[in-house]
Structure 1
Amino acid sequence: MTTPQPSPHPTPEAPQVAVRGEARLDVDPEIARIAVTVSARGTDRAATLSDLTRRNTLALDLVKSYGDAVEKLETGAFSITPEPGRHGRGERIRAYQGRVHLTVELTDFTALGELTTRLADLELTRVDGPWWALRPDSPSYAEARRTAVGEAVQRARAYAEALGTSLAALLELSDTGLVPPPAAGGGLRMAFAADASDTPPPLELEPQLQTVTAEVTARFTMAPPAL
């Protein structure tokens, strides 16, 4: 025997209710990203490149020394740019400017402040960040979806009870929006003098809460109310 399926069109025998469910969760971040820019400048191209290579190696070795606290380390753009002379004719080069950009992603926020300070203390090295975030597969997203669906069911049930009836079947459930939190942070920019005699104390960085929102729409049939 085939079970009759509810009609997608409302009828007096199967009235429908359409509702929206929303969720907004404030959760702790799971990762923090910092951007590291290593620089070198000099009048000789080979010497500038050598200085850049040495400083980049120091920065990489320092990051790697933090082991499992670092989830991801990536090298981005590299550049060595000649700077032409300000006066005179021809192609006279005044200096060379070299840069390497690194991106570091950490999960241990206790180590974050110390690593950030130590990186900024390296010669001609700049640090930007941190940017707080959730992982793409964070359980917080699933929790937001469940909360939004639960609110939709609760809201539809409240409407049905107001009519003295109850929900009968779910016709449609649509995910109208799961909004990940925007990248937060980036207010920090650090660089210390190359001749600093003492390493500055570690920064105390407070993780910034991440807001995850979800929204669904749902349609239910109801048992006919006695109006």
Structure 2
Amino acid sequence: MKVLLTGIVSILLSLLVFTFGNFIIQLFSNWLFITFPHALAAISSILICGLLIYKTVAYMLIFPYSFRRMETMIFFYCWLILLVLAFISNCYREDFYLDNSIPKWVQIVFSFLYIFFWYGQKINVKAVANVNREMSRNYEEEYMSVPKKSSISQRSKYIIMGILLVLILTNPSRSSFTSYLHKSHYDGVGREFNGLVFSVYSYKDIRYLGILGNFIRMPTSPF
């Protein structure tokens, strides 16, 4: 129940963050045009990749015998870096589709495998204890020896998991409602952004911010 509530809160927080960030970008889009969101996305993606590599190396030094934990964590980080690299590669494309770099079936398979390994890790702790109590004792001792700030990292992993599930399971650029609006109302004057969990349609006088296929009408920037 705690994991489920954490996942729901993570999804809501991710939607709020992307909505607020995209709204701020749109307010200043008349000044900065297309370069600001692309540069911001590239810089943030590079920082995220560097942080994940650093944390992976740190965990390898802290948990040298935690094979189950390391296997799951490395798989998770490799998958996240794959998505981030695809995001960077699409930052300089006008069609800006995540699906152009990673096929949909690959995203679904990776999602299933990650959820399987993540929950399997929780179940395998008892199984390892029955097979090899010494290994389990070493695992528990090293896990408990981590400072309390590691709980923040665990919570951050839950939040990242929720965000990634949103990125994969909800792609507004592929929804039928978005396609209908695109075919019916897009006049070809403004630029079309199809980002992670949001879509922005720039028109002559009106900007539409689309989140999960639900469109919110916003006036143009007063600047």
TM-score, normalised by the number of residues in structure 1: 0.22
More strand by share: 1
More helix by share: 2
Q: Which has the higher contact order (CA 8 A, sep 6+)?
A: 1
